[in-house]
Chain A
Amino acid sequence: MLESYIRSRREQKELLLMTHIVLGYPNFDDSLRMVEAMVEAGVDLMELQIPFSEPMADGPVILKANSDALAAGARVEKSLRIAEKITASFDIPFLFMTYYNILFRNGVDAFVARMADIGIRGAIIPDLPPEEGGDYLAAMARHELAPIHIFTPNSTDERMRLLSEKSSGFIYTVARKGVTGKDTAFSDDLGDYLERCRNATGLPLALGFGVKSNEDFEFIRGKADIAVVGSETIRVVDRDGVAGVKPFILRLMGGG
């Protein structure tokens, strides 16, 4: 189970790191090499995003990566095959991040069965609130996969408890309003917010949106279980190529 992996990993490390890539961006070969670089650098778990043409919750950087990947021919089947190769080659948990239509068009049950089959451990579907996700949640439970939901600063305590009930693995908490990839002014308010998150769930907390430096990473230490880096890795790849990924991750964790 994903949660027990996170808990046992946490016994060795105070703060875990989850990274993100868009499958097929800039191409599938580079996706594989990026995963390799990240795992070598010591990343603890990863989100693999299956590109979608209408990624409404993503900011400009990931949006562009989605549309570039699609323009380069990233079919869902190709993403599933590369994901299968990734889970077979690397010994950390991998999650899917994508939008609901990708599951819906495939057939939710069939898609979730396929996820289990290829060794994916959980999923984040940002446009699927639990009220709309009955079939998905049931299928995820049947296959013992982790449906991960998102806490936001706007969520009421009651809402957080509901989301926690429908989740397993961990909770993805966003540090601020807005889409992915924008700067976040981490502040003392964050402490109060994370305390509210802790009180609403017994699951580990991953903290995301805007983490880009070792300073950000250190700030999260002691506050959440997992730091999430998303858009910044894509900026690094755009600037320095795949070769820049490993040094970036090492720097982020204070080792490089």
Chain B
Amino acid sequence: MQHRGYYDQFGGAFIPEILVPTFDELEQAYLEAKADPAFWQEYKALMSSYSGRPTPLTQAENLSDHFGGAQIYVKREDLNHTGAHKANNVMGQGLLTKRMGKTRVIAETGAGQHGVATATMAAKFGFDCTIYMGEVDVERQRPNVFWMERMGAEVIPVSDGSRILKDAINEAFRDWVSNMDDTHYVLGTACGPYPFPEMVSWFQSIIGTEAREQVLRETGKLPRRAYACVGGGSNAMGLFSGFFDDPEVELVGVEAGGRGKGIGEHASRLAYDDASVGVAQGYKTYFLQDDDGQMQETHSVSAGLDYVGVSPILSSLRESGRVRFEAATDQEVIDAMSLTVQREGLIPALESSHAFAQAFKEVGDLDPDDVIIINQSGRADKDIFTVADALKDPKWEEFIIAKAKGYQNA
């Protein structure tokens, strides 16, 4: 590779020797695409016709009135096809896969959004598709598995390790080291070995570019703060990158605070001090690990944020102080989501609701002339099984029991 992908001390490409030529090829395809203005035009046209971009910036007047602070604007990544910002990355990597002449794609998925997005892209482009998904996640995200399989993807439940996102990533790498000749690994977030963190952030930068134009057009000013949830970090990198050159815009990344501080209770690598620098899954960043360097269990109400590592670019932005990191607990997230549904009729995913929760804690302290942006990275209505459980909705429970009886009698 021409570059090693370091952001201060974070990043790199700690890859098995067998993948060295594959990464050379990927880096070259990425750098060529980035240098070719026609590629970005093709990408934008595809995202417009297939995924409904640009996504709107919605003013949340009721929530703004409720808190009596800054004006709240919501970037509507939930309106992408397949219901999340994941589509931005996946369609971009789909175009690169075509350029490299490969015919099969594989991906890991946690919540299932990235798996559904990849299966969708594979269906559209005519690629074979295999999705690796932790067994625990397959159980909690059946509707997403249903759609992946309908679209022709093979979904392989991963029963190793803690059977969640990180284990699905390991398994996808194991597939790739056997099948790299015809297969591209569509990594779903701004993590992993270089060039993935940078490449995924590049595709997601379409969020921030649009958001900056929209907020200036609609309010005539830049936001005081921009909020995004952080799992691997791709939606945050996407929104934040629009404002990196605007030092007056404070960038706030919100991690999964779970049940609070303490290893095993949360998935917060940068806001809490339970994580330390390590090297795993091909890159160097903050990981939730023990003194030996063994990765530890994580917890979050949202599968999409339930991950041990974080984008190396965000780790470097934390060190430089450019991004502030906070954590929202499961309960704060559920409350923020309920409030947003009730007051605005918006249905943010549990992942995205972390960004809302943190913004709600702070927005009252700002001036009514101020503007903030919250990234609604995905929508929750298609995750109704998980959300209804998180909200402990008794009528939903009755419905499921009745439905199950119906199947038993059939």
Contacts and interface: CB of A to CB of B under 8 A. Distances in A.
A76 B17 contact: no
Interface residues on B, range: 20 to 34
Contacts of B20: 129, 154-155, 159
Interface in B1-46: 4, 12-18, 20-22
Given A152-B17, A177-B178, A56 B282 contact: yes
Contact of B16 (A54, A59, A126, A156): A126
A174 B294 contact: no
Contacts of B17: 126, 129, 149-152, 155, 163
Contact of A105 (B12, B173, B278, B281): B278
A196 interface: no
A151 B14 CA distance: 16
Given A53-B161, A53-B294, A54-B166, A179 B21 contact: no
A178 B177 contact: yes
Contacts of B295: 53-54
A55 B295 CA distance: 11
Interface in A129-178: 129, 131-132, 149-152, 154-156, 159, 163, 174, 177-178
A52 B18 contact: no
B170 interface: yes
Given A101-B280, A154-B21, A56 B173 contact: yes
B177 to A, nearest CB: 6
Main SS at interface, chain B: mixed
A70 B294 contact: yes
B38 to A, nearest CB: 30
Given A56-B170, A105-B276, A152-B18, 5 more contacts: A102-B292, A104-B293, A154-B21, A155-B17, A156-B21
Interface string B166-178: 1000100110011
B291 interface: yes
A128 B282 CA distance: 9
A178 B181 CA distance: 12
A198 interface: no
A131 B16 contact: no
19 contacts: A52-B293, A53-B280, A54-B166, A54-B170, A54-B280, A56-B174, A75-B292, A76-B292, A76-B293, A101-B279, A101-B280, A129-B13, A129-B14, A129-B17, A132-B13, A155-B17, A156-B21, A159-B21, A178-B18
Given A67-B161, A101-B278, A105-B291, A57 B177 contact: yes
B112 to A, nearest CB: 22
Given A127-B279, A129-B14, A132-B14, A105 B292 contact: yes
Nearest to A101: B293
Given A52-B293, A53-B295, A179-B174, A131 B18 contact: no
B180 interface: yes
Contact of B14 (A53, A75, A100, A106): A100
For A63, A67, A102, A132, the residue with the greatest tally of chain B CB atoms inside 10 Å of its CB is A132
Contact of B279 (A57, A100, A126, A151): A100
Nearest to A50: B292
Nearest to B294: A53
Nearest to A176: B178
A127 B17 CA distance: 8
B160 A64 contact: yes
B289 interface: yes
A16 B13 CA distance: 33
A156 B24 CA distance: 12
A182 to B, nearest CB: 8
A109 to B, nearest CB: 16
Contacts of A156: 21
A154 B177 CA distance: 10
A177 B13 contact: no
Contacts of A149: 17
A109 B179 CA distance: 36
Contacts of A106: 293
A70 B292 CA distance: 11
Given A104-B278, A105-B278, A105-B291, A129 B177 contact: no
A102 B174 contact: no
Contacts of B16: 56-57, 126-127, 150
